[in-house]
């Protein structure tokens, strides 16, 4: 090969080198998870979600990326995180509860999957359960008789129950709706109802101080604030000798007496199935919102003993799980 031909070959190769050097690997489909509580409170949900994705063929770091952000029970963080996900151009956003509306306001294009929401139609998240429309779909906790069933359970374990407190975030619209449902159910039974004003974490301890000697049991309404501070709520309730019934088994695992509601880990598994369909081309507006078909009763027997309660054998037999 002549010297000038050799230089041409080298020159041509050198011209191509920058292109090869700057070539970037294809961007993985990205899921943005907007956690309404803390990482520790959502750890079981995240584990269930990620495992179900793996079952469906989506392995983090290999063919999908997952970006986690945590609001830690602070509603003002929802918009900030949703805006960040829009800027990152994620392919789908997974969230829950009150964060859904903030996320929907941030984007009408990126698909949004809610793992749980109290009233997605009434809350303006979707047009209807059967045909959500738009870019939002997911799992609804809508069940008109859950509150009355929880109160009936309280009646079984608290002899002569007459005074009930409702612990809820007054700044959370869905919780306000539930307060109304609980009040209506309580009135039919002739209960006195106390509703302390809670809008932030700092209001929780004073609320329990005001309830001492004024009530016999506490109904905790679903809300990210309540979920984030469940250990504090349970400790304060035990200190005040109050029976607590909640919406999720995680509350019972951290010290509440009872919970009645859907299994949240199952809901997050189903949320992963929505994500799978969307990443494969389905439109969220065409995917009907699902509702739980099974509700579980979980009882903490250790807490019952601390409170000096003797639980009916018939109730324990009906429980899906008894924690000792």
At residue 23, the pLDDT reads 46
Residue 199 sits in which domain range?
146-261+296-323
72 and 220 co-located in one domain: no
89 and 188 co-located in one domain: no
**82/69 Cα distance (integer angstroms):** 9
At residue 123, the pLDDT reads 85
Query: Band of the pLDDT at 130, cuts 50, 70, 90?
Result: very high
At residue 141, the pLDDT reads 84
CATH number where 254 lies: 3.40.50.2300
196 and 301 co-located in one domain: yes
| pTM score | 0.84
Q: Is 70 exceeded by the pLDDT of residue 217?
A: yes
Report yes or no on 79 lying in a domain.
yes
Report yes or no on 176 lying in a domain.
yes
Q: Is 80 exceeded by the pLDDT of residue 19?
A: no
Report yes or no on 170 lying in a domain.
yes
Report yes or no on 55 lying in a domain.
yes
194 and 315 co-located in one domain: yes
Query: Exposed, middle or buried, 309 (CB in 10 Å: 0-12/13-18/19+)?
Result: middle
48 and 190 co-located in one domain: no
At residue 9, the pLDDT reads 43
Report yes or no on 20 lying in a domain.
no
Average pLDDT taken over every residue of the chain: 90
At residue 11, the pLDDT reads 47
Count of domains observed in the chain: 2
Report yes or no on 5 lying in a domain.
no
At residue 6, the pLDDT reads 42
190 and 119 co-located in one domain: no
At residue 145, the pLDDT reads 72
- Strand 163-167 with 65-70, pairing: unpaired
Query: Band of the pLDDT at 173, cuts 50, 70, 90?
Result: confident
171 and 78 co-located in one domain: no
If you average pLDDT over residues 19-48, what whole number do you get?
83
At residue 111, the pLDDT reads 98
Neighbours of 98 (CB within 10 A): 24
Report yes or no on 76 lying in a domain.
yes
Q: Is 60 exceeded by the pLDDT of residue 254?
A: yes
124 and 248 co-located in one domain: no
280 and 313 co-located in one domain: no
């Amino acid at each position: 090969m002549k010297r000038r031909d050799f230089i041409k070959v080298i020159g041509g190769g050198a011209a191509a080198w920058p292109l090869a050097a700057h070539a970037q690997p294809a961007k993985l489909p990205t899921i943005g998870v907007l956690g309404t509580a803390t990482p520790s409170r959502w750890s079981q949900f995240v584990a269930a979600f990620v495992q179900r994705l793996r079952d469906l063929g989506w392995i983090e770091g290999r063919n999908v990326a997952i970006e986690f952000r945590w609001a830690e029970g602070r509603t003002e963080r929802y918009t900030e995180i949703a805006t960040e996900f829009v800027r990152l151009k994620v392919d789908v956003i997974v969230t829950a509860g009150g964060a859904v509306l903030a996320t929907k306001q941030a984007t009408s294009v990126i698909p949004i999957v809610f793992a749980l929401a109290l009233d997605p139609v009434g809350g303006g998240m979707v047009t209807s359960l059967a045909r959500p429309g738009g870019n939002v779909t997911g799992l609804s906790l809508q069940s008109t008789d859950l509150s009355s069933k929880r109160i009936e359970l309280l009646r079984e374990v608290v002899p002569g129950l007459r005074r009930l407190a409702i612990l809820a975030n007054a700044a959370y619209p869905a919780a306000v709706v539930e307060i109304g449902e609980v009040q209506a159910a309580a009135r039919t039974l002739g209960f006195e109802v106390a509703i302390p004003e809670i809008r932030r974490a700092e209001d929780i301890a004073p609320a329990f101080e005001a309830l001492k000697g004024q009530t016999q049991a506490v109904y905790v309404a679903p809300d990210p604030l309540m979920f984030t501070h469940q250990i504090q709520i349970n400790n304060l309730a035990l200190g005040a000798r109050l029976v607590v019934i909640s919406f999720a088994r995680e509350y019972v695992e951290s010290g509440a007496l009872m919970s009645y509601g859907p299994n949240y880990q199952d809901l997050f598994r189903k949320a992963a199935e929505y994500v799978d369909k969307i990443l494969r081309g389905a439109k969220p507006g065409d995917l009907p919102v699902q509702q739980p078909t099974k509700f579980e009763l979980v009882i903490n027997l250790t807490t019952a003993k601390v409170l000096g309660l003797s639980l009916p054998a018939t109730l324990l037999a009906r429980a899906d799980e008894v924690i000792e």
